[in-house]
Amino acid sequence: MSFTLSVSPLEETSFSVNVADNVQKIREGIRQAALRVGRDPSTIRLLAATKTVVSSRLIEAYAAGVRIFGENRLQEAQEKIPAVGPRQGLTWHFIGQMQRRKLKDIVGNFAVLHSIESVEQARNINVIAEKMGIQQDILLEVNVAGEGTKGGFASKDIPEALVHIDQLPHVAVRGLMTLPPFSENPQNARPYFAELRQLRDSLSQESLKQGGLKELSMGMSNDYHVAIEEGATMVRIGTGIFGKRG
Ligand SMILES: *Cc1c(COP(=O)(O)O)cnc(C)c1O
Protein backbone atom coordinates (compact mmCIF):
# COMPACT_ATOMS: atom_id res chain seq x y z
CA MET A 1 0.00 0.00 0.00
CA SER A 2 1.29 3.42 -0.89
CA PHE A 3 0.77 6.50 1.24
CA THR A 4 1.82 9.06 -1.33
CA LEU A 5 -0.47 12.05 -1.25
CA SER A 6 -1.61 13.22 -4.63
CA VAL A 7 -2.56 16.84 -5.07
CA SER A 8 -4.82 17.61 -8.00
CA PRO A 9 -3.85 20.56 -10.24
CA LEU A 10 -7.00 22.36 -9.15
CA GLU A 11 -6.05 22.27 -5.51
CA GLU A 12 -2.52 23.31 -6.29
CA THR A 13 -3.39 26.37 -8.32
CA SER A 14 -6.01 27.54 -5.85
CA PHE A 15 -3.56 27.22 -2.96
CA SER A 16 -2.52 30.86 -2.89
CA VAL A 17 -6.07 32.19 -3.26
CA ASN A 18 -7.55 33.66 -0.12
CA VAL A 19 -11.26 33.10 -0.51
CA ALA A 20 -12.23 35.03 2.62
CA ASP A 21 -10.25 38.10 1.48
CA ASN A 22 -11.77 37.89 -1.99
CA VAL A 23 -15.31 37.65 -0.64
CA GLN A 24 -14.57 40.70 1.47
CA LYS A 25 -13.30 42.63 -1.56
CA ILE A 26 -16.29 41.70 -3.69
CA ARG A 27 -18.68 42.70 -0.90
CA GLU A 28 -16.97 46.06 -0.71
CA GLY A 29 -17.19 46.38 -4.51
CA ILE A 30 -20.91 45.60 -4.35
CA ARG A 31 -21.40 48.16 -1.59
CA GLN A 32 -19.59 50.92 -3.45
CA ALA A 33 -21.37 50.26 -6.75
CA ALA A 34 -24.74 50.30 -4.97
CA LEU A 35 -23.98 53.52 -3.13
CA ARG A 36 -22.83 55.24 -6.34
CA VAL A 37 -26.37 54.92 -7.69
CA GLY A 38 -28.24 55.35 -4.41
CA ARG A 39 -29.17 51.69 -3.95
CA ASP A 40 -29.27 49.79 -0.68
CA PRO A 41 -26.37 47.29 -0.87
CA SER A 42 -28.35 44.73 1.12
CA THR A 43 -30.77 44.34 -1.81
CA ILE A 44 -28.02 42.81 -3.95
CA ARG A 45 -27.29 39.14 -3.49
CA LEU A 46 -23.92 37.56 -4.09
CA LEU A 47 -23.92 34.20 -5.84
CA ALA A 48 -20.61 32.33 -5.94
CA ALA A 49 -20.18 30.56 -9.29
CA THR A 50 -18.57 27.27 -8.34
CA LYS A 51 -17.74 25.47 -11.60
CA THR A 52 -14.41 23.58 -11.32
CA VAL A 53 -13.96 24.72 -7.70
CA VAL A 54 -13.36 22.04 -5.05
CA SER A 55 -15.72 21.68 -2.08
CA SER A 56 -13.17 22.79 0.51
CA ARG A 57 -13.07 26.20 -1.19
CA LEU A 58 -16.84 26.39 -1.13
CA ILE A 59 -16.81 25.75 2.60
CA GLU A 60 -14.35 28.65 2.97
CA ALA A 61 -16.71 30.87 0.98
CA TYR A 62 -19.59 29.82 3.21
CA ALA A 63 -17.51 30.64 6.28
CA ALA A 64 -16.87 34.09 4.73
CA GLY A 65 -20.62 34.64 4.47
CA VAL A 66 -21.55 33.44 0.99
CA ARG A 67 -25.01 31.86 1.06
CA ILE A 68 -25.72 31.10 -2.60
CA PHE A 69 -23.71 28.72 -4.73
CA GLY A 70 -24.40 28.53 -8.46
CA GLU A 71 -23.33 25.47 -10.46
CA ASN A 72 -23.28 25.05 -14.23
CA ARG A 73 -22.71 21.35 -14.36
CA LEU A 74 -25.05 18.80 -12.87
CA GLN A 75 -22.36 16.21 -12.30
CA GLU A 76 -20.22 18.64 -10.33
CA ALA A 77 -23.20 19.74 -8.30
CA GLN A 78 -24.07 16.13 -7.47
CA GLU A 79 -20.62 15.74 -5.94
CA LYS A 80 -20.38 19.09 -4.21
CA ILE A 81 -23.84 19.43 -2.70
CA PRO A 82 -23.38 16.39 -0.43
CA ALA A 83 -19.70 17.23 0.17
CA VAL A 84 -20.55 20.73 1.41
CA GLY A 85 -23.61 19.35 3.22
CA PRO A 86 -26.64 21.20 4.51
CA ARG A 87 -25.71 24.47 6.20
CA GLN A 88 -27.79 27.20 7.75
CA GLY A 89 -29.16 29.53 5.07
CA LEU A 90 -27.24 27.91 2.21
CA THR A 91 -28.99 27.53 -1.15
CA TRP A 92 -27.85 26.17 -4.50
CA HIS A 93 -28.86 27.66 -7.83
CA PHE A 94 -28.38 26.14 -11.27
CA ILE A 95 -26.79 28.68 -13.65
CA GLY A 96 -25.85 26.53 -16.66
CA GLN A 97 -27.72 25.36 -19.70
CA MET A 98 -29.92 22.36 -19.08
CA GLN A 99 -30.24 19.41 -21.39
CA ARG A 100 -33.68 17.93 -21.45
CA ARG A 101 -32.66 14.51 -20.18
CA LYS A 102 -30.99 16.07 -17.15
CA LEU A 103 -33.99 18.13 -16.08
CA LYS A 104 -35.39 15.40 -13.86
CA ASP A 105 -32.23 15.55 -11.75
CA ILE A 106 -32.14 19.34 -11.67
CA VAL A 107 -35.74 20.29 -10.87
CA GLY A 108 -36.36 20.35 -7.13
CA ASN A 109 -32.67 20.14 -6.27
CA PHE A 110 -31.89 23.83 -6.85
CA ALA A 111 -33.71 26.81 -5.38
CA VAL A 112 -33.57 28.80 -8.63
CA LEU A 113 -32.81 27.78 -12.22
CA HIS A 114 -31.23 30.79 -13.96
CA SER A 115 -31.08 29.79 -17.61
CA ILE A 116 -34.53 28.91 -18.92
CA GLU A 117 -34.33 29.43 -22.67
CA SER A 118 -37.68 28.38 -24.10
CA VAL A 119 -41.36 28.00 -23.28
CA GLU A 120 -41.01 24.29 -24.03
CA GLN A 121 -38.27 23.97 -21.44
CA ALA A 122 -40.47 25.69 -18.86
CA ARG A 123 -43.27 23.25 -19.72
CA ASN A 124 -40.95 20.29 -19.23
CA ILE A 125 -39.90 21.68 -15.86
CA ASN A 126 -43.54 22.16 -14.93
CA VAL A 127 -44.31 18.48 -15.61
CA ILE A 128 -41.45 17.29 -13.41
CA ALA A 129 -42.23 19.79 -10.65
CA GLU A 130 -45.86 18.71 -10.67
CA LYS A 131 -44.86 15.07 -10.11
CA MET A 132 -42.66 16.19 -7.23
CA GLY A 133 -45.44 18.31 -5.79
CA ILE A 134 -43.33 21.48 -5.79
CA GLN A 135 -43.14 24.86 -7.46
CA GLN A 136 -39.79 25.56 -9.12
CA ASP A 137 -38.46 29.12 -9.17
CA ILE A 138 -36.91 30.07 -12.50
CA LEU A 139 -35.36 33.00 -14.32
CA LEU A 140 -35.64 33.52 -18.06
CA GLU A 141 -32.34 33.93 -19.86
CA VAL A 142 -32.38 36.78 -22.32
CA ASN A 143 -29.93 36.86 -25.21
CA VAL A 144 -29.77 40.65 -25.18
CA ALA A 145 -27.17 40.99 -27.90
CA GLY A 146 -28.86 38.46 -30.19
CA GLU A 147 -25.71 36.36 -30.38
CA GLY A 148 -26.20 33.31 -32.59
CA THR A 149 -23.95 31.19 -30.39
CA LYS A 150 -25.98 31.77 -27.25
CA GLY A 151 -29.24 30.35 -26.02
CA GLY A 152 -31.98 32.36 -24.40
CA PHE A 153 -35.01 34.38 -25.42
CA ALA A 154 -34.88 37.39 -27.69
CA SER A 155 -36.01 40.42 -25.66
CA LYS A 156 -39.00 40.92 -27.93
CA ASP A 157 -40.21 37.35 -27.30
CA ILE A 158 -40.29 37.65 -23.51
CA PRO A 159 -43.79 39.19 -23.10
CA GLU A 160 -45.48 36.41 -25.04
CA ALA A 161 -43.36 33.70 -23.41
CA LEU A 162 -44.45 35.01 -20.03
CA VAL A 163 -48.11 34.72 -20.94
CA HIS A 164 -47.58 31.00 -21.54
CA ILE A 165 -45.21 30.30 -18.67
CA ASP A 166 -47.41 32.16 -16.20
CA GLN A 167 -50.11 29.56 -16.83
CA LEU A 168 -47.87 26.75 -15.58
CA PRO A 169 -48.80 26.17 -11.92
CA HIS A 170 -45.52 24.49 -10.94
CA VAL A 171 -43.05 27.07 -12.15
CA ALA A 172 -42.70 30.64 -10.92
CA VAL A 173 -40.76 33.19 -12.94
CA ARG A 174 -38.76 35.31 -10.49
CA GLY A 175 -36.96 37.45 -13.02
CA LEU A 176 -34.50 37.66 -15.87
CA MET A 177 -30.91 36.65 -16.38
CA THR A 178 -28.33 37.59 -18.97
CA LEU A 179 -24.77 36.94 -20.02
CA PRO A 180 -23.71 39.79 -22.31
CA PRO A 181 -21.02 39.32 -24.97
CA PHE A 182 -17.60 39.04 -23.41
CA SER A 183 -15.53 42.20 -23.49
CA GLU A 184 -12.36 43.28 -21.70
CA ASN A 185 -14.03 46.61 -21.05
CA PRO A 186 -16.93 46.21 -18.60
CA GLN A 187 -18.49 49.45 -19.86
CA ASN A 188 -19.32 47.64 -23.09
CA ALA A 189 -21.79 45.49 -21.16
CA ARG A 190 -23.68 48.48 -19.76
CA PRO A 191 -26.23 48.86 -22.59
CA TYR A 192 -27.11 45.17 -22.31
CA PHE A 193 -27.60 45.38 -18.56
CA ALA A 194 -29.71 48.49 -19.04
CA GLU A 195 -31.81 46.71 -21.64
CA LEU A 196 -32.50 43.80 -19.29
CA ARG A 197 -33.56 46.19 -16.59
CA GLN A 198 -35.88 48.10 -18.91
CA LEU A 199 -37.41 44.84 -20.03
CA ARG A 200 -37.99 43.78 -16.42
CA ASP A 201 -39.51 47.14 -15.55
CA SER A 202 -41.83 47.05 -18.54
CA LEU A 203 -43.13 43.66 -17.45
CA SER A 204 -43.43 44.06 -13.73
CA GLN A 205 -46.77 45.79 -14.21
CA GLU A 206 -48.29 42.60 -15.53
CA SER A 207 -50.13 40.25 -13.23
CA LEU A 208 -47.58 37.58 -12.57
CA LYS A 209 -48.24 35.05 -9.87
CA GLN A 210 -46.60 35.40 -6.49
CA GLY A 211 -44.84 38.67 -6.57
CA GLY A 212 -43.65 38.56 -10.13
CA LEU A 213 -40.50 39.59 -11.84
CA LYS A 214 -38.08 41.13 -9.38
CA GLU A 215 -34.75 39.53 -9.99
CA LEU A 216 -32.10 40.65 -12.42
CA SER A 217 -29.31 38.07 -12.44
CA MET A 218 -26.53 39.90 -14.24
CA GLY A 219 -22.88 40.77 -13.76
CA MET A 220 -19.80 38.57 -13.31
CA SER A 221 -16.31 39.14 -11.89
CA ASN A 222 -15.21 41.69 -14.47
CA ASP A 223 -18.43 43.70 -14.80
CA TYR A 224 -20.56 43.19 -11.69
CA HIS A 225 -20.13 46.81 -10.58
CA VAL A 226 -21.58 48.02 -13.89
CA ALA A 227 -24.42 45.49 -13.57
CA ILE A 228 -25.24 46.80 -10.10
CA GLU A 229 -25.27 50.39 -11.35
CA GLU A 230 -27.81 49.21 -13.92
CA GLY A 231 -30.00 47.40 -11.39
CA ALA A 232 -28.68 43.85 -10.82
CA THR A 233 -30.26 42.10 -7.83
CA MET A 234 -27.96 39.09 -8.06
CA VAL A 235 -24.37 39.02 -9.26
CA ARG A 236 -22.65 35.75 -10.20
CA ILE A 237 -18.98 35.78 -9.22
CA GLY A 238 -16.51 32.96 -9.92
CA THR A 239 -12.90 34.03 -10.47
CA GLY A 240 -13.30 37.10 -8.27
CA ILE A 241 -13.82 34.76 -5.30
CA PHE A 242 -12.01 31.55 -6.15
CA GLY A 243 -9.26 32.77 -8.48
CA LYS A 244 -8.62 31.70 -12.06
CA ARG A 245 -10.15 28.41 -13.05
CA GLY A 246 -7.62 25.63 -13.65
C1 LIG B 1 -18.73 30.96 -14.77
C2 LIG B 1 -19.97 31.77 -14.73
C3 LIG B 1 -20.04 32.95 -13.99
C4 LIG B 1 -18.86 33.54 -13.24
O5 LIG B 1 -17.89 34.00 -14.11
P6 LIG B 1 -16.57 34.76 -13.57
O7 LIG B 1 -16.13 35.56 -14.72
O8 LIG B 1 -15.61 33.68 -13.20
O9 LIG B 1 -16.99 35.55 -12.41
C10 LIG B 1 -21.25 33.63 -13.97
N11 LIG B 1 -22.33 33.19 -14.65
C12 LIG B 1 -22.29 32.05 -15.38
C13 LIG B 1 -23.50 31.62 -16.09
C14 LIG B 1 -21.11 31.32 -15.45
O15 LIG B 1 -21.07 30.21 -16.18
Flag whether pLDDT at 189 surpasses 90: yes
Task: State the Cα–Cα distance between residues 29 and 35, nearest whole angstrom.
Answer: 10
45, 95, 224, best to mutate for ligand 1 pocket (most atoms within 8 Å of CB)? 95
Q: For residue 237, how far is its CA from the centre of ligand 1 (angstroms)?
A: 6
76 pLDDT band, cuts 50/70/90, is very high
**Which atom of ligand 1 is nearest to 220's Cα?**
9
- The C-alpha R_g of the chain, in whole angstroms, comes to 18
Residue 152 Cβ < 6 Å to ligand 1: no
Answer with the residue of higher pLDDT: 15 or 129: 129
Decide which of 70 and 13 is more confident.
70
Nearest to 30 by CA among 48, 42, 17, 18: 42
* Cα 71 to averaged position of ligand 1 atoms, centre (Å): 9
* Residue 52 near ligand 1, beta carbon < 6 Å: no
Pairing of strands 112-116, 91-94: parallel
Gap from CA of 183 to ligand 1 centroid (Å): 14
Looking at residue 144, its pLDDT comes to 96
Q: Which residues contact 135 (CB under 8 A, 6 or more apart)?
A: 129, 169, 170, 171, 172
Nearest-atom number in ligand 1 for the CA of 245 is: 8
Nearest CA to ligand 1 atom 12: 95
**What does the pLDDT read at residue 159?**
93
Protein residue with least CA distance to atom 10, ligand 1: 236
CB 53 less than 6 A from any atom of ligand 1: no
Distance 236 CA to ligand 1 centre (A): 6
Average model confidence (pLDDT) across the chain: 92
Q: Which of 3, 12, 25 is nearest to 239 (CA)?
A: 25
Instruction: Answer yes or no: is the C-beta of 240 below 6 A from any ligand 1 atom.
Output: yes
For residue 239, the ligand 1 atom closest to its alpha carbon is 8
List, for residues 132-154, the tens digit of each pLDDT value: 999 999 999 999 999 988 899 99
Q: Say whether pLDDT at 213 is over 90.
A: no
Q: Which atom of ligand 1 is nearest to the CA of 72?
A: 15
Q: Using a 6 Å cutoff on CB, does residue 238 contact ligand 1? A: yes
How confident is the model at residue 6, as a pLDDT? 47
Q: Is 189 in the pocket of ligand 1 (CB under 6 A)?
A: no
| Domains present along the chain, CATH in parentheses | 19-241 (3.20.20.10)
Q: Is the pLDDT of residue 8 over 60?
A: no
Mean pLDDT across 4-11? 47
State residue 149's pLDDT score: 87
Query: Contact 213/204 with Cβ under 8 angstroms?
Result: yes
